[in-house]
Homo-oligomer: A and B are copies of this chain.
Amino acid sequence: MQRVAIAGYGLTKFRKSNDSLYTLACESARDLFQNAKNLSQQDVETVLVSTCDNEQYTSSIISEMLGLRPKISHRIENMCNSGGNAIISAYSFIASGLCDVALVIGVEKADSPAARLEWDISRGSFKHPAHWAAMFAKSHMNAYGTTEEQMAMVSVKNHDNALMNPKAYFQNKITLDDVLYSKPVVEPVKLYDCSAPCDGAASLLLVSEERAREFGDQPVWITGIGQRTVSASFSKVSDLTRMESTALAARDAYARAKIEPDMVDVAEVHDAFTICEILAYEDLGFARKGEGGKFAEESQFGIDGKVAVNARGGLIGTGHPIGATGIAQAVEIVAQLRNEAERRQVKDCKIGLTHNLSAAATSTTIVTMGV
């Protein structure tokens, strides 16, 4: 079995703009070509595009625009979890021996059709994700005494982190009161508990072990992968105090990587809403069941020895260009493990994790990485 490394990354500024899907995608890929030393167009054998946009044939169009003639090329969609899926696909194409060098590009416009899931009739007004977030939040509050203040602390921390990330959409310091008195969306979820759609793109270069040092001397290895889809429908979620797909995927990823949760130094978790980050602390094994709220309180002060969560600002601070998010999370982990995260660098980090999910956490992708 081929080992697979990440050897380069690229990112656009997350923003709202009139730039097209293609402009955004190419901008992040060009940033990657700057980052991955000696990479030439001829090296790229696979181009995978992660987007929920309705454009057709995007992977071929973007390849042509970038002057690439890939062997393997297609678009991957799984709503907010598209990026995670694209990464594991690229991993597989390399690990299976079909290629050595794969470019993965996640891209989305702010007006993405994936902002709502139209399909699930059983949800009624639950098509908008704030409704399921509210159900998760209320259930966890009822069961474990989690508070609106603890949820707000997640938003404050992630906005603070985003201030140190020049690519983040949000660049404003907020207070607990700003969150608590922001516009009510669905009780107890308020505006600042939510991530916001925006434009953005992110690119990753995955390479085989054989070629791992050709494009830079700091390959970051993919050590574990876990993925699970438990349903598509919110009405099928039986336990609203946990994200089942996340717990199952994390278990598989940790087993494959032969690590325990407390060994993770940096994690990018899918804080589509503040409650998701609190649930993720528990379902990823960073906090004991029911203690996610307490973990949020401690995290805001940067407790030593704990995993650093969402150093780039998460979805809440950075913005959520849907198909790009899973890739952007991995970009951050690679930057952290390569000690290239500048003002937001987490010290001495060796093991990182990305947590990418869709639609009421009905599916999750976990990727662990190490140096």
Contacts and interface: CB of A to CB of B under 8 A. Distances in A.
Interface in A51-109: 52, 54-57, 59-61, 63-64, 69-79, 81-82, 85, 88-89, 91-98
Given A228-B69, A252-B71, A60 B97 contact: no
A358 interface: yes
B78 A77 contact: no
A25 to B, nearest CB: 13
A171 interface: no
B88 A56 contact: no
Interface string A344-371: 0000000000000011001100000000
Nearest to A55: B119
5 closest residue pairs by CB, A with B: A95-B96, A60-B232, A92-B92, A74-B78, A74-B85
B85 A92 contact: no
15 contacts: A55-B118, A56-B118, A57-B79, A57-B119, A57-B232, A60-B362, A69-B229, A70-B228, A71-B226, A72-B85, A72-B88, A73-B227, A74-B76, A76-B76, A91-B98
B56 A52 contact: yes
Contacts of A230: 69
Contacts of A72: 85, 88, 227
A206 interface: no
Given A56-B118, A98-B225, A231 B89 contact: no
